Every structure is written in C-alpha cells, then in structure tokens.
Amino acid sequence: MFDLVRKLLGRKFRQSEVELLNDALDVGISGRNKAILGTKRAIGPRGVALIKRFEGCARLRRDGMVEAYPDPGTGAEPWTIGWGATGKEFDTDDRIGPGSVWTQAQCDARLATDLIAYAEEVSRAIGAAPTTQGQFDAMVSFHYNIGAIHRATLTRKHKVGDFASATAEFTRWNKAGGRVLKGLVNRRREEAQLYKES
C-alpha cells in the first residue's frame, strides 16, 4: 500500500503523511473486522430483568444455598440451578444434577458469564442486521431459554427486516417436553413485547 501511494505521489513520504496513512489503514482494517465479526453487543438492563423474572433463582434453601431442580418439561434432564444455568457445575467439569448446590454469588456470577456468551452468539447470528437494544435483549432472552437462535425462523425474519413476522415467531416456542407450558407462553409474550417496543 505504501509503495503504491509513494508511486502516485512521485516522492518519499513525510512523517505526517506516514501517520495519516497508518491511521487510515487502521480504520479500514477495524471496519472490515467489524463487518466480518459483527459489532460486539451486550444485553441491556431490560433484557436481564426479563430473564431473571422468568428464570427465577429457584430452590433457595433455609441455609441460603440454592439447589438444582429438574427441567419442568421433562421432569429430569437438563437439571437447572440458579438463574437457569444448565450444563457444567460452577467450578468443576461435573454436570449439574440432583445434589448440585451453589451460593447466591455463584448463581449471579454464572448468569453474568452466560449472558456474555449468549449475547455473542446472538450477535453472530444476526450479523450486521439493524437491531435495536430491545430487539437484541428479546433475542438474547429467547436464546438463553431455548438455545435456538441460529436455526430459528425468528432470526431469518429479523435479518431481512421483517420485524412484524419476527415478532410473531416468538409465540411458536411455547412447548417443553411436547407440552405447552404457561410459563413459556408468558415469557414469549414478554419477549415479543420487548422486541416490538423498540
């Protein structure tokens, strides 16, 4: 690049020109990376509040500890603890299951970590599609609960700007274990409302 510009100028660079060209290249590279990777976004307070309201930090024991519970749809796997955490235990590679017990601080820390990961996954799924904070928050809540942001028709509709159809897609995800659950109906309604308000 420098050789090409030097040839066009027909002379050597001045130091101020080198600095300007370096700055321009940095901006160009940064912009290209953003286009490839998507803009890094974070879930907002309304999205966190929605997730906390529907996940709850259930099974608080008298000693202040929080214990795991089975999935409401299956009555078994996946076992859940704290603010809807599934998968691995807080500090080991063991799976969350019957007998898993965490402190409230561990539940809160896991939620914060998980929300960063889920927000990154939503960002990758929607790419550069114009997205309001409310739409983003609703999709992170949806993905946190369902884990389907990459395959959901909701995502495809959002990416093409068909926000009305995307809003309607939330209501389709109201079943667990093949049954419609009132909690999921209510959550999808709240997510759709947050998505639509934006």
- List residues with catalytic annotation: 55
Where are the alpha helices (H) located in the chain, listed in sequence order? 2-9, 15-37, 45-55, 104-126, 133-146, 153-159, 163-169, 182-197
Angle, CA of 51, 146 and 39, to the nearest 5°: 75
Angle, CA of 173, 177 and 158, to the nearest 5°: 15
Look at residue 61 and give its three-state secondary structure: coil
Residue 85: what are its φ and ψ, rounded to 5°?
Answer: -75, 135
Q: Which residues contact 180 (CB under 8 A, 6 or more apart)?
A: 174
